[in-house]
Amino acid sequence: MNMASLNISSASATAEVKPAANVHADTIQRFLASEQIKQKRERIANRAMAIGFGIFVLIAWTIATEGGFVHALIIPSPIDTIEATVRVVGSSSFWPNVWVTVQEILWAFALGLGGGALLGVSVAMFASVRATLYPYLVAIQAPPKIVLAPIFVTWFGFDQASKIAIGVVMSFFPMFLNTLTGLSSVDPNAIKLMKSLTAGRWKTFRYLLLPNALPIMMAGVKLCWTLAVLGVIVGEFVGASAGIGYLIYAMNFQLDIAGVFSLIILLSLFTLFVYQLIEWLEGKIVFWKQL
């Protein structure tokens, strides 16, 4: 009789536990679903605000130019800019110059990204490297990079090497600093825990330091990209015989302001496209950031 009562009590307790677990699971699922809906609404609202702001700027631009408030030599009208874009893109010299600039930007971005990340890891992992190089790396960032552009043109000539060098110098330090900051921001207690588990330097870096640093490093990648573009275009302004910066400088000298605006807009769209691609990759690589 006692055994039967015990079995009945156990069965009833189990029956009570299962519904409770199901209730908690349902609550968590509803919460996650509501959070996803909330995030989706926020993304839609942000995109709507961005599109609305763009439309506002376009309307204000049209009123200012077509209404005679701003001279065409200062800011061309949207219609003139569109016509200039069609003319520029259709010209025989456009695509070869685009290819020159794209090559320079990609090389500058790759070298600035790789060099900055590699040196950031070295400085963060090895105290001797930090003590030796870090003060000099900070000191090098003091002068404005535009000042170095004529020097690089003198050193490397008017070929692509000088533009790549300027792009590397401008994009290197943000990647280096973000890598160093991300690797140095780990909780010391977590490092002590890894040591207590007899984890070596490589395993600590792979399983603790790198995952912690990746969100900050990806921010550095985005900044590295934009500065690589800026550095290359500055280099082409200073001295070049080809490239988008060279075309902008030539059109500005000819007072073709609509052509200048069209090239600036096309360059901005290209930069924004790659920036959005990097953000998409960030969501895939640092997926836990969105959890």
**Is residue 73 helix, strand or coil?**
coil
Contact between 170 and 238 (Cβ < 8 Å): no
Spell out where 198-237 has E strands.
Answer: none
pLDDT tens across the length of the chain (291 residues): 454 454 444 444 444 444 555 656 677 677 667 767 777 778 788 888 888 888 888 888 888 888 877 777 788 888 888 888 898 888 888 899 999 999 999 999 999 999 999 998 888 888 888 888 888 888 887 777 777 778 887 888 778 888 888 889 888 888 999 998 888 887 777 777 777 777 777 877 777 878 888 888 899 999 999 999 998 998 888 877 788 888 988 888 888 888 889 999 999 999 999 999 998 888 888 776 655
- pLDDT for 106 equals 94
> What is the number of H-type helices and E-type strands within the chain?
11, 0
**Is residue 104 helix, strand or coil?**
helix
Residue whose tokens read 């909330």: 38
Using alpha carbons, select from 252, 221, 257, 264 the residue that is nearest to residue 65.
Answer: 257
Cα-only R_g, the chain: 28
Contact between 56 and 237 (Cβ < 8 Å): no
Q: From its phi and psi, is residue 210 left (phi > 0), alpha (psi between -120 and 50) or beta?
A: alpha
Structure tokens given for 247: 């075309």
Contact between 90 and 153 (Cβ < 8 Å): no
**Rounded to whole angstroms, how far apart are CA atoms 182 and 212?**
7
